[in-house]
Amino acid sequence: MKNLSYSTLYEQNFDGYLLDNAPERIMQFGEGNFLRAFVNYFIDVMNEKVNFNTKVVVCQPIASGLTETINHQEGLYTLCARGFQNQKEVNETRVISCISRCLNPYQDYQAVLACADNPDLRFITCNTTEAGIAYDESCHFEDNPAASFPGKLTQLLYHRFQTFGKEPGKGFIILACELIDNNGKELEACIHKYAKQWNLGEEFITWLTAENIFCSTLVDRIVTGYPRNEAENLNQTFGYIDQLIVTSEIFAFWVIEGPSHIEKEFPIKEAGLPVIITPDHTPYKQRKVRILNGSHTAFVLGAYLAGQDIVRDCMYDEVIAGFMNRAIYDEIIPTLNLPKEELDNFAETVEERFKNPFIDHELLSITLNSTAKWRARVLPSLNEYVNRKGILPACLVASFAFYIAFFQGHTLTDDGLIGSRYDNDYIIKDDLPILQFFYDNQHLSPTDLVHKVSTNESFWGEDLSKIAGFEKAVTGCLIDIQNNGAYEVMRKLAPLSGSALL
């Protein structure tokens, strides 16, 4: 078989959408799986649906990457989006053709800077991992390139400023996709620090603010990456060799925080894509973190103790799915401020996403760093529920008891704290001080252990024992888990049917 290329597809009389030539109007820092399955997919659909007529020039942000492979395939690759949608199994394949080329700044940084001379260039997208948006004061303007991503972007922006000066409309709309809070604002802050550190001048700093829009965004799509075990069979089906196949779930959702006029230049909604452009993305982030991530954290530890291993299997168990849905609809959604219909519609997608037959999402992998996850994802809902209702949310309280039960390990090793489920051991992974805490307190009574965990403000940022009735409720739940098992605790809290609340 031939490698994927435009000529290969034309020889095959390929009948899908292709855009072989268009202006480079977007520069993208990052060539990994997520951007190619999310941002580049959105751009490709806009090219097809509303004649966005845009190519993306990609910059590899670190020394090792996919530049050669992307260029060898002329920017082409195959996206396989798979999962449940409207209660039906969906498997969609699309050749993405919006990427023009990929540049390696460590081999030819001048080619990267030269992109700033292109008058058509208008957008910058990025996903340089959570560690990418960081200010490194050791970077210098003369570096070729600067080590940090914000440093590289500052160099590019200054080159743009030198080329076009104060000409209106030649700044950029910058869409940050890193998984950190306020990613756009954090990136902008780093750029301003470099502008001052490098003495780039007040005119440049004024131009940064006046002509560039740094958008914080919320991105939501599970991307499972290159399907190593399926690649050979998929290539046989495609009729070509694709070294850049990327797989994802069907669901995708993008919230862009910025002025509404962005839509005129970036017609993502006109293309019928699931996107919201809003002056404040915070409510949508809360929705995702509390409903999707929060429900994950609320049921996963208990489900593992109950004998389950894969998220998908949990969704076919009426007790576990019922417990999760009661937590979502009765205890989490009432704490959020978006319209209830929007929240319910989002929640309806959660069980479908968790049922994805193409993703074997292991419960143990989700338990990594559960302390920080419970604090960020579940505790805000619990506190807000108590504030609004004046009573404790039973499922969220139980999730804290599941957390304590899961962390009751018996042996501390270099790999983690060892716990036991039935006759088998499992590894608990979290920060070492947390594992040491549970190891040192493993022999406490349920009452004393719950008190010690609840009052550990270094874990939770507050003393949970001050929540009226919390300690007593968690203690009773933990004793029930020890005597009757986590599954029985879920059974007492779940509705009769796992889908009763949908």
pLDDT, tens digit, 9 for 90 and up, residues 168-191: 999 999 999 998 889 999 999 999
- State both tokens at 21: 């030539």
Please give the pLDDT value at position 85: 86
User: pLDDT confidence of 133, banded at 50, 70, 90?
Assistant: very high
Q: Report whether pLDDT(385) > 50.
A: yes
- 478 has a pLDDT exceeding 80: yes
Which contacts (CB < 8 Å, 24+ apart) does range 445-450 have? 446/475, 446/478, 446/479, 446/482, 447/475, 449/404, 449/408, 449/478, 450/401, 450/404, 450/474, 450/475, 450/478
What percentage of residues in the chain have a pLDDT greater than 70?
A: 99
Is 442 in contact with 417 (CB distance < 8 Å)? no
Q: What is the mean pLDDT of the chain?
A: 95
Main-chain dihedrals φ then ψ at residue 92, nearest 5 degrees = -110, 140
Q: Domain 6-280 carries which CATH code? A: 3.40.50.720
pLDDT higher than 70, residue 122? yes
pLDDT tens digit sequence for 138-167: 999 999 999 999 999 999 999 999 999 889
Q: Determine which of 82-91, 406-415, 493-502 has the lowest per-residue pLDDT on average.
A: 493-502
Q: Would you list the domain boundaries of the chain? A: 6-280, 286-493
Portion of the chain with pLDDT greater than 90, in percent: 94
Could you tell me the CATH superfamily of domain 286-493? Answer: N-(1-d-carboxylethyl)-l-norvaline Dehydrogenase; domain 2 (1.10.1040.10)
Look at 127-131, 271-275, 327-331 and tell me which has the smallest mean pLDDT: 127-131
Q: In the prediction, which pLDDT does 131 show?
A: 85
Rounded Cα distance, 454 and 463, in Å: 6
Supply angle C-alpha 128, 129, 130, rounded to 5: 125
Instruction: Give the Cα separation of 81 and 92 in Å (integer).
Output: 5
Average pLDDT of the segment spanning 354-373: 93
Placement of tokens 């940090």 in the chain? 148
Supply angle C-alpha 146, 74, 25, rounded to 5. 60
Q: How far apart are CA 273 and CA 294, in angstroms?
A: 26
* pLDDT tens digits, one per residue of 6-34: 999 999 999 999 999 999 999 999 999 99
Please give the C-alpha separations between residue 388 and each of 278, 331, 480, in angstroms, as whole numbers: 27, 11, 28
Question: Given this model, what pLDDT does residue 501 score?
Answer: 37
Q: 255-302, pLDDT tens digit by residue?
A: 999 999 999 999 998 999 999 999 999 999 999 999 999 999 999 999
Higher pLDDT, 501 or 232: 232
Asked whether the predicted pLDDT for residue 476 surpasses 90, the reply is yes
Residue 441: exposed, middle, or buried by beta-carbon count in 10 A (0-12, 13-18, 19+)? Answer: middle
Using the predicted structure, report yes or no on whether residue 350 has a pLDDT greater than 90: yes
How many residues are given for the chain? 502
Residue 498 in this model has a pLDDT that exceeds 70: no
The yes-or-no verdict on residue 368 having pLDDT over 80 is: yes
Going 8 to 13 to 15 to 21, the CA torsion angle's sign is positive
**Residue listed under structure tokens 């498997």:** 91
Average pLDDT over residues 349-369: 92
Model confidence at 75, pLDDT cuts 50, 70, 90, reads very high
DSSP output for 328-355: IIIIIGGG--S-HHHHHHHHHHHHHHHT
pLDDT tens figures, 399-415: 999 999 999 999 999 99
| Cβ neighbours of residue 496 closer than 8 Å, sequence gap 6 or more | 318, 322
Omega of the bond leading into 339 within 30 degrees of 0 (cis): no
Closest CA to 195 of 161, 239, 147: 161
- Residue 86: the pLDDT is 83
pLDDT at 497 over 50: no
Q: What is the pTM of this model?
A: 0.88
* First-last CA distance in the chain: 47
Report helix, strand and coil shares of the chain as percent, to nearest 5: 45, 15, 35
Nearest CA to 426 out of 409, 414, 438, 450 is that of 409
Residue 496 confidence (pLDDT)? 57
Whether the per-residue pLDDT at 500 is higher than 80: the answer is no
| Reported confidence tier of residue 250, pLDDT bands at 50, 70, 90 | very high
